[in-house]
Amino acid sequence: MTESMKMKWDLSQLVEFDDLGYIEEQLAASVKAAEEFSERHRGKIGTYNAKQLLDMLEESDRETLQYEGVFIYAFRMYDAEMNNDVAKRLADKARAASMLVQQAAAFIPLELGELLTKNPSIVDDPVLLEYKHFLEKIRRAVPYMLSEAEEKVIIAKDKNGIRAWSQLQGDWLATRAYELEIDGEIKTLPYGEIIQYYQHPDRELRRRVHEVVYHDLGNDNILWAAALRAICSDHLQMVKMRKWESPMTQSFLVNDVDEETINALFNTIKKNRGVYQDYLRLKARLLGFKKLGNWDIMAPLNDTPDKKYTWEESQNLVVKAYSEFDEEVGAWMQEMFQRRHIDAEVRNGKRSGAYCVTWHSGKSAYILQSFNGIMSDVFTQAHELGHAMHAYLGTRAQKPSNYDISYCVAETGSIFGELLITEKLLNQVKTKEERRSILATVCDEFGDTAFQVATRIWFESALYEAIEKGKYLDGDLISKLWVEARDMMYGDSVEWIDEMRWWWTFKLHFYMPSLRYYNYPYVYAQLFVYAMYRLYKEQGREFVPKLKALLAAGSSKSPRDLAAEIGFNITKEEFWQKGIDQFKEFIKQFEETL
């Protein structure tokens, strides 16, 4: 096999016959099956007893598994070759089929809600034990549901309301271009390209890029503010109509968490912001600055070695890191390479970024990344394989309905995998500079994900508070609220250029319709996994089956119960503090390299 073949995935395993005609047939068959399912059950679920409900749920899971492969095939083929006309046509067909399947299944949650309103105790029937938590989540949402007619009006109005505002924000950002002088030459760059200079080694260039981008974003503040004002005001309207207890309630339902837990998490962050500020001051000293500018926060260190890794080296490192954690997991990771479930070749027309998709019926996963051999590519590989570890464990133990992972838990395997590769790399580096650069990357990432992202939650809450007080959210007021939230987190540890008050304008997470407070699961996951890693360091081998059980449980239990099973009480600040303590430990190791 040639080197480039090894770095391309083999999608043929996903389907019975690797033939486009067959795949199109199967896509059509999936729609027909969904429509027949609807004919069998529509209008009846409200009257089902426990056994009938069990049969219906099992049937739905069987159909999901039966047609899963062709959809993965079609979408992955397109991501691998987005300029290929055949791939484009097939992905179009898969998208259309997937929409029809979803439409045909739209009655299920509504009728389940109806059933659980009439008969809430059916959830506790022993016959339905396997689906207990799946049904509990629906039962929890029931009190906030509106009538079917009202829900339909909301969907129809949202299309031209908050969804249109959200699309305008995304479309406008995607079509902006910025002028930047690089090496004496003026370049015009779209948003997606100019941001690569944010982490450029040249400090002056980094500062200028921030000035140019945020100055121009600020020029359009009337548009961004209008979109954000409409989306946030609409949300508050829905809070009242649906009788959600607070603007955050919707996110608690979606993420399967509760207020007590998220409050404990954010109190811990607030109490420990000084730890992050001190790290930023330390980084400033190391770079030789009095204070970091905002353009320096994620900057590389001056003496970062530009070590390269071959595909083989990276594979060996990552598989070894997982094998040392657990042999079975290590063998699965090896299988991901051997069965060619990873597309890592760099080529034109391939989707950028990286992801891992679960292949439930094959009890495996597929990964896409573009591997250039730099250290961050090795980290990305370990991260995505962590998702694969989750998939291998979860699909062996759970039906698809119980593998609908909360955003808070979804990054558990992946961040843990990053820590395993961190440990592996630290154990084998030869120079102090290499060690320092790895630890700086780890601390920068943790700081950004735990603290910068937490700032966004304070900011979002401030937006709702302002609207409730009758204030008009224009660009200046929104910027003022952003700066207040930011300064509460960073104190005086960073110098900000004035243009940075427009930071909120580009962040699509603030404009996501019907999914508010999108950001806190990142903070949750980061601290949760660091806390677990600390436990791993304390308990050693004894901890391994605990993590495997947690991942294997999929969504069959709430994040709170999953944590309780390995001895964590996530409603307590002491638990989240363990995550911060691990961050402190990395900072200490970093300081020791100076």
By CB under 5 A, name the binding residues for Zn ion. Answer: 414
Q: By C-beta, is 398 or 414 nearer to Zn ion?
A: 414
Specify burial of residue 558 (Cβ count, 10 A radius: 0-12, 13-18, 19+): buried
Distance CA 424, CA 417 (A): 11
For residue 475 the two structure tokens come to 């660009």
Q: By C-beta, is 33 or 382 nearer to Zn ion?
A: 382
- DSSP letter for 303, please: T
Q: By C-beta, is 64 or 414 nearer to Zn ion?
A: 414
Shortest Å, Cβ 136 to Zn ion:
26
Shortest Å, Cβ 526 to Zn ion:
12
Closest CA to 223 of 159, 176, 158: 176
Show Cβ contacts of residue 577 under 8 Å, excluding neighbours closer than 6 positions.
Answer: 268, 272
By Cβ distance, which residue is nearest to Zn ion? 414
Of how many residues is the chain composed? 594
Q: Could you tell me the CA-to-CA distances from 404 to 255, 395, 398, 427 in Å, in that order?
A: 10, 11, 10, 36
- DSSP codes of every residue in 41-103: HTTTGGG--HHHHHHHHHHHHHHHHHHHHHHHHHHHHHHH-TT-HHHHHHHHHHHHHHHHHHH
Closest CA to 9 of 385, 358, 313, 338: 338
* DSSP H stretches of helix in 248-357: 249-255, 259-271, 273-287, 311-325, 327-338
Distance CA 368, CA 373 (A): 15
Shortest Å, Cβ 355 to Zn ion:
8
Shortest Å, Cβ 418 to Zn ion:
9
Q: By C-beta, is 414 or 479 nearer to Zn ion?
A: 414
Q: By C-beta, is 414 or 455 nearer to Zn ion?
A: 414
Shortest Å, Cβ 356 to Zn ion:
7
Q: Letter for the amino acid at 162?
A: I
Shortest Å, Cβ 81 to Zn ion:
23
- DSSP letter for 181, please: E
Q: What are phi and psi of 365, to 5 degrees?
A: -155, 165
Q: By C-beta, is 395 or 412 nearer to Zn ion?
A: 412
Q: By C-beta, is 314 or 493 nearer to Zn ion?
A: 314
Q: By C-beta, is 169 or 395 nearer to Zn ion?
A: 395
Shortest Å, Cβ 435 to Zn ion:
25
Shortest Å, Cβ 316 to Zn ion:
22
Shortest Å, Cβ 131 to Zn ion:
27
Q: How many helices (H) and strands (E) does the chain have?
A: 26, 7
Q: By C-beta, is 409 or 489 nearer to Zn ion?
A: 409
